[in-house]
Amino acid sequence: MKNKLIKIFSAATAAIGLLAALPAYWVSADDLQNAEDVLQDGSFIYEEVEGGYAVKKCTATILTSFPGIVNGISIVEIKDGAFAGCSTLSEVNIPDTVKKIGSNTFVGCTSLKKVSIPDSITKIPDNTFLDCSLLTEVVLSDNLTEVGNMAFGNCKSLTSVDLPDSVTKICDSAFDGCYSLTQFTLPDSLSEIGDMAFSYAPIETFDAEGCTAFKVVDGILYDKDEKIIYRAAPSISGELRIKNSVREINGGAFSLCSGITNLYIPDSVETIGGYAFSECTSLKSIDFSEGLKTLEKCAFAYDIALESVELPLSLETISDGAFMVCYSMNKAILQENLKNIGENAFLDCPELKQITIPKSVEKIGNNAFGIKNNYSEDGSYETVSIDGFKMSVTAGSAGEKYAKNNKIEYDSTGVDLKKLAFIIIVVGILLTAIVFAIVLMARSRKSATRGAKKAQKEALEKEAEKNYKKIADNDENEDKEES
């Protein structure tokens, strides 16, 4: 009996062990039974993709290694945001089995200092290392062709990046906010640089030797034809005259150039990009020429020494925040032909007490004029009106509407055509009604006169008939008497 029980127990144990081993067998099999299965190993969550596994999410609190193979199956992909917010991750070597990484992969990894990307990767997607504030060392793939939007955005500790010569494109804001990046070598094959690619990156030295699509002249990075300015060395100072060949000043091109005092923009320039001259804290005057059509977002924001601007007649759009926080500005002249004024365009310009809005303006954004921020010690702030601020507007215009909506003192000139048209219509209706009434009265009187005459005639006819009958009756009586 005892031996029988032992055999039964042993068989049960074996069965349990077999059942426990089955999931492990299924996971390690070359072909998973269900493509929908999601696998975990304590450090990562995986999912099956074509050719192997993809890392879907990092779940480890401390990560010391990144496997290339799990259960005999290769890791071939890292999904979007897989390591986002892993604040304990300090170093990562991506295995060469990985062929693709998603966007936002390491965004917010605030302890990440070193990254190695294998030759199997050809593109660094958007926001890959965004806000990795301690990242200092990056080893890139020799087959890399593209650096995505904001790929290294706000990597404040990054001092150098060695891009391979295979790179052909650096996308928008790729190195925006890299405050420690002071030198940069352009890859030989580079043919495209996006807007604000190096904004707020204090790059003093660009090495364009071997790169035929771009050139560096007097500390300024141009395209080969010198039509576009991409970035200028922050050490540029004094009077700055933009070349007549330039058509566009790229976003962030002169950001942090705190030594520039006077700026001359030729009529060849049509667009000044976002943050192009932001934080040029010594800039006092700007000479705009005709030809400029658009000022992008925050183009001259935080230029605290700028005293006045006279914008050209050709300008059609002042974008959001274009001149915000220009504490010294006391005069701004806007010309006819201007159509759009963005939000916060002149926000926090406390010395600007008066502005004339052209009647051509069709739209004015919130807090464009006459508004400032009052800050408290704890960093909070409230938006208040600037004392003594006054607007000159055209009656019925977008300027008058803005002044009324924001309870700003204003004086208006000209005639409100809509009101005038309304008055003309009302007066016309009234005149028509009066004329119609007079005609009716005239007709009524005429009708009444005709009726009276007719009645009088009929009365006379009846009286005559009566008299005639009376005379006839008298003659008849006389004849009777004579007989």
Task: Please state the domain extents for the chain.
Answer: 1-30, 421-459
Name the pTM for this structure.
0.77
C-alpha closest to that of 230 among 287, 173, 187? 173
CB 282 within 8 A of CB 304: no
**Which pLDDT value is given to residue 465?**
65
Give, for all 483 residues of the chain, the pLDDT tens digit.
434 333 433 444 434 333 333 333 233 333 333 434 558 888 899 999 999 999 999 988 777 677 889 889 999 999 999 999 998 888 999 999 999 999 999 999 999 999 999 999 999 999 999 999 999 999 999 999 999 999 999 999 999 999 999 999 999 999 999 999 999 999 999 999 999 999 999 999 999 999 999 999 999 999 999 999 999 999 999 999 999 999 999 999 999 999 999 999 999 999 999 999 999 999 999 999 999 999 999 999 999 999 999 999 999 999 999 999 999 999 999 999 999 999 999 999 999 999 999 999 999 999 999 999 988 888 888 999 999 999 999 999 999 999 999 999 999 987 555 555 555 676 667 777 777 777 677 666 655 556 555 666 666 667 656 665 665 565 555 555 554
- Give the contacts of 107 (CB within 8 A, at least 6 positions apart): 81, 84, 85, 127, 128, 129, 130, 131, 132
Q: How far is CA 6 from CA 13, 15, 231, in A?
A: 10, 14, 82
Residues 31-42: pLDDT tens digits?
Answer: 333 434 558 888
CB 77 within 8 A of CB 125: no
**Which pLDDT value is given to residue 432?**
76
Sign of the alpha-carbon dihedral angle for 301, 303, 307, 313: negative
- Token pair, residue 192, equals 């495209």
**CA 338, CA 347: separation in Å to the nearest integer?**
18
